[in-house]
Structures are given as C-alpha cells and as structure tokens.
Structure 1
C-alpha cells in the first residue's frame, strides 16, 4: 500500500476493451504488436535517414526528428503493457507504475502538441516571410524551440499527477482503458472527482487549443499569402510544401477535439467505442507519420529514391 495517499489499492488492472471476448485476445495482441513494430520500423528508418544524410539537417527535418522521438516514446510507453495484457493476461500494473505511465502519456502528448506549433511556425515564416526565413529560422533557433517544448511540456502532466496521486483509491482498481490516463485513474477515486477533473480538463484544453489557435492563424495567413501568388503552378507548389504537415496536424487535433468536446456537450459513446477512438488517434499517427514524411516531404522522398536506386543498381 502506498504510504502517501491512504489507499487500499496497491495495483491497478488494465482491462483494455471491456467488451472484447477472450477468444479474440490473441488477435487483439497480434494487431497491437504489428502496429508497434510498424511504428518502430518506420520511425527508426526516418532517424537513420536523418543521421546519415546531411541534406536533412534543416529546421523542418529537425522538428520532424523530434516528432519521431516523441512518437516512438509514446508508443513504447503504452503498447507493450496492453499487448502483454492480451497475450499473457498480464494486465496488472503497480500503483506507482500506473501513475508513471499516466505522466508519460500526457507528457508525450503535450510535447507533440508544442512541436506541431513549432512546425506551423516554420511554415508560416517560410511562406509569409520567405526573404527573412534564413535569418529567423535557423537550426540553432529550432533546437532552442524544440528543447523549450520538451521542458515546458513537463509542467501540466506533473501537476495532474501531483493532484491525482494523493486521492484515496479504496474500491475498484480496474481501469477501463488500454493505458493509465488521468480520467481513467481519477474515476476510481473514493471521493468527489469534480474538483480534480475540471482543472485537468482546463489544462488539457490549454495544451490542445493553445497551439491549435496559433496553427489555425498561421495556416489562414499561409492561405492568404498563397492566394496572392499569380501563377496557379506557384500556388500549388507552395501549398504542397504544407500538405504533409496539414495531414499530421489534422490526424492529431481533429479526433482529440471531437472526443473532448463531445463529452462536454452530452454526446455519449459506448465504453468500447470511446476506447477504440482514443486508441486510433493515439496510435495510428505514430505509425502513419513516417509514410507522410517520406511521400509528402521533398528531401526525404528524394533521399529514399536515391538509396533505392543505389540498392537496385547492378
């Protein structure tokens, strides 16, 4: 039993999908393992390309590198435990381990949100102030902004853990989710969770909507700047430099906003459907993003094509 919170619960049990029948546990674990392996392979491939090709040592690709690291760490934080739950029926997680996972889940989510803001800033300056771009956006500047994102993102998840950890957990220890998160844990507290859930909701909205407001502003400005380009070919070429980033941003923000807002305007989902949606927007982007980097980013695509041609040359 934890000494600091007067709880009777010493461990939690991650259920995953409550409605999933035992005969499908093997299939579920296999699918999740494939997702994890694809995520690792795709993102590690991007890391290797960055490490071995100096042409990719530019501000945009440094941001992508940080996104890759965040995606890999998030997937590694969440997937192995839920895979073990279905493969080996090992769903138990220690009291401290659950709160550690909760912190890391929200931390890497916050880091990604801030990195997407930096990505939008890069495209905003590149398109709206192209002549000043080399002076404003340097590698050193991006390194500082990325480091700031990783540091600042620690605050809100840490506050959530500090407020949730001392609550009394004295009844159920069953987490109806695929990983420990703030909502799933605080629902189990033997106390009124309203004083804790509302500040957490406000924090989530600040982390989610704060960067999103700037991202929307930046891309609206980009659209205005693109419409001022006389040549249709020039407009398409300029917009193509943002297409990959827009797909990544949409995959991250749209489903999250839908889930957060729907729960506060009375739209009710079944538990299983809600968990499926959360897993889709949490785990598919880290798996899909490397494909977006490769097919929607000019330098990465050209680097891959050169490597492919070398490997197939007689």
Structure 2
C-alpha cells in the first residue's frame, strides 16, 4: 500500500559502529576541504593568471567547478549525520540532491569528452589547433555539456516523483540517488529504473566511446613520430587528461563489469566503492593539474618561488 512520505532517512555506511562516527566524519570533512580548497584554487589561479587563458585550462576550470559543486551537494549532509546525528532529509530535498548528483555526473562525463577532443586536435592536426579550438569554441562545447543533462535529468526526477512509495523511507546510501529512491517505490519501479539506467549509460558510454577513440588515435600518432623527444613531449601534454579520465571511468567500469559477471558487493562495500570513485577524483584532480601540467607548474614556480627568492634577497 502506498503511503505519503514526508522525509527520508539516510543510512550512510551500514553497520558502522557509533564509536567510529567521529573518525569517519573527520575523514569526510577533510575530503570535503580538499575538494573545496583544491578546486577553488584552480578556478581562481586560472582566472587571474593571464597566461593560462587557453582552451585546455578553461576545460580544467569547468571540471573543477563540476567537482566543487558535486562535493558541496553530497558531503555536507553525510558529515552532519555523523557529527550531529542528522539523518533526516526532506522529501523534496532528497529529490533535489538526486537531481544534482546525476546532472553533475553526466556533465563531468561530457566535459571529459571535450577534453579528449582538445588533445585529439592538438596532436593530430596541430597546425590548425589554434584556429579550430579557441576559448570561444571550448566555452560553447562546455556550455552544451552543462545544458544537455539539465533537460533529461528533470525528466528522470519527475518520473521518480510520480512513483507511489511503500512503507520504507530508508535510503541505503550516503546520499540520495536514483536507484536508492526508486527502489522504495511500489509500482512501475522497473520501468522507471530502466529509463534512468538507459540515460545514465548514454551519458557515460557515448563520451567514453569517443574518448577511447580519440586517445587511441592520439597514441598511434605519437608512436609514429620520428623524434623520441617529440613523443615524450606530446605524451607529457596528454598525461594529465589521461589520468583524470582513468580516475573517473575505470572504477565505474570495474563495478559495472563485476555486477554483470555475477560478482555482487555487500551493501557496505558497494557504498564505500561508490563514494570513493565519486569523490576521490574531485580531490585528486587539482593535484594532477598542478603537478602534471607544465604551464601551471611554471606559473606556480614564478608566483611563489620567485617571490620567496626576492624576499630572501631583500632580507
């Protein structure tokens, strides 16, 4: 029998003992700080450093904004649960969180596709790169990456809102997502979940297919280079993008393949794995930008180390 649910109960990590609430919430808070500080630093640094106003770093900014907002949407509620025992989230608050979780996930995937296109053009048609891939081009492509998921994610949320819900209001996760919410429905659950799965696969696999094709062509082009120095230099420019893409897609592919070959995770393990592949890249990506990107490293050296030398000289 369907009932009117006013709010949902966020379980978090099932089976976690109360004495572990403090360390877990502290770890999540440190993760939240790393995501916030790292990505805000990238946004501010690229904005105020004129030499970084280039297509590649504009894409980094869009990824950083996406990662920052995702951290703000997912982490504060679960931190409050373990700090202040605030496990309740309102009915519409849960659906809003679900919307942003999937909207940002899809947006991130499409921005990674734009990043792959950037490297594809830079390596395969380098003489036309500056003409084809301008800041305006990147802004338009990234704008489309943000706009496209808005429409179909609204449809997913409205579809889930129309479900009649049964007695349970317990979300077996650290945040509200489509599968957790629709699993509480009484009727038409399978249809709604299949529609959600189809759109999720589209937003992940279409960009992934293009990314694999792009980097395959890039790697072939690099191998065919006659100069070993040229090969190393070109691969070094692609390495940050490859690392970021690997961190985002590989854990998701692993979980998907494991489920399809019959290997099932227990609820606690599944939630930990999902939290890791959802949030760890958002904290690690700014480090990759800073230490694996030559231009950003050079700018950081000039800004901080040169200033330090000047101060030491004056003293």
Q: What's the TM-score once normalised by structure 2's chain length?
A: 0.96
Q: Counterparts of 1:43 and 1:97 in 2: how far apart (Å)?
A: 25
Q: 1:268-312, CA deviations, whole angstroms, 9 ceiling, x for partnerless residues?
A: 100000000000001100100000000111111111111221342
Q: 1:243-275, CA deviations, whole angstroms, 9 ceiling, x for partnerless residues?
A: 010010011011112223333332210000000
For residue 132 of structure 1, give the secondary structure of its aligned residue in structure 2: helix
Contact 1:16–1:177 (Cα < 8 Å) also in 2: yes
Tell me the CA shift for residue 213 of structure 1: 0.3
Q: 1:129-154, CA deviations, whole angstroms, 9 ceiling, x for partnerless residues?
A: 00111111011111111111110121
Matches within 5 A, 1:172-251: 172-251=168-247
Asked if 1:144 corresponds to 2:140, the answer is: yes
Asked if 1:134 corresponds to 2:127, the answer is: no
Q: Counterparts of 2:15 and 2:173 in 1: how far apart (Å)?
A: 12
Could you tell me which residue of structure 2 aligns to residue 283 of structure 1?
Answer: 279
Could you tell me which residue of structure 1 aligns to residue 259 of structure 2?
Answer: 263
Q: 1:6-58, CA deviations, whole angstroms, 9 ceiling, x for partnerless residues?
A: 74211001111011111101111100000001111111111121121100100
Q: Counterparts of 2:261 and 2:160 in 1: how far apart (Å)?
A: 25
Contact 1:26–1:86 (Cα < 8 Å) also in 2: yes
Q: Counterparts of 1:253 and 1:13 in 2: how far apart (Å)?
A: 30
Could you tell me which residue of structure 1 aligns to residue 96 of structure 2?
Answer: 100
For residue 153 of structure 1, give the secondary structure of its aligned residue in structure 2: helix
Q: Counterparts of 2:154 and 2:249 in 1: how far apart (Å)?
A: 22
Q: What's the TM-score once normalised by structure 1's chain length?
A: 0.96
Contact 2:163–2:188 (Cα < 8 Å) also in 1: no
Q: Counterparts of 2:208 and 2:26 in 1: how far apart (Å)?
A: 35
Return 7-16 or 258-267, whichever deviates more.
258-267
Q: Counterparts of 2:147 and 2:210 in 1: how far apart (Å)?
A: 20
Could you tell me which residue of structure 1 aligns to residue 300 of structure 2?
Answer: 304
Could you tell me which residue of structure 2 aligns to residue 124 of structure 1?
Answer: 120
Tell me the CA shift for residue 191 of structure 1: 2.5
Long gaps (5+) in structure 1? 1-5
Q: Counterparts of 1:139 and 1:128 in 2: how far apart (Å)?
A: 19
For residue 221 of structure 1, give the secondary structure of its aligned residue in structure 2: helix
Q: Counterparts of 1:229 and 1:251 in 2: how far apart (Å)?
A: 28
Return 253-262 or 108-117, whichever deviates more.
253-262
Long gaps (5+) in structure 2? none
Contact 1:171–1:190 (Cα < 8 Å) also in 2: no
Return 259-268 or 212-221, whichever deviates more.
259-268
Return 6-15 or 73-82, whichever deviates more.
6-15
Contact 2:55–2:134 (Cα < 8 Å) also in 1: yes
Q: Counterparts of 1:177 and 1:289 in 2: how far apart (Å)?
A: 24
Contact 2:121–2:129 (Cα < 8 Å) also in 1: yes
Return 121-130 or 166-175, whichever deviates more.
166-175
Asked if 1:56 corresponds to 2:55, the answer is: no
Structure 1 or 2: more helix by fraction: 2
Superposed CA RMSD: 1.1
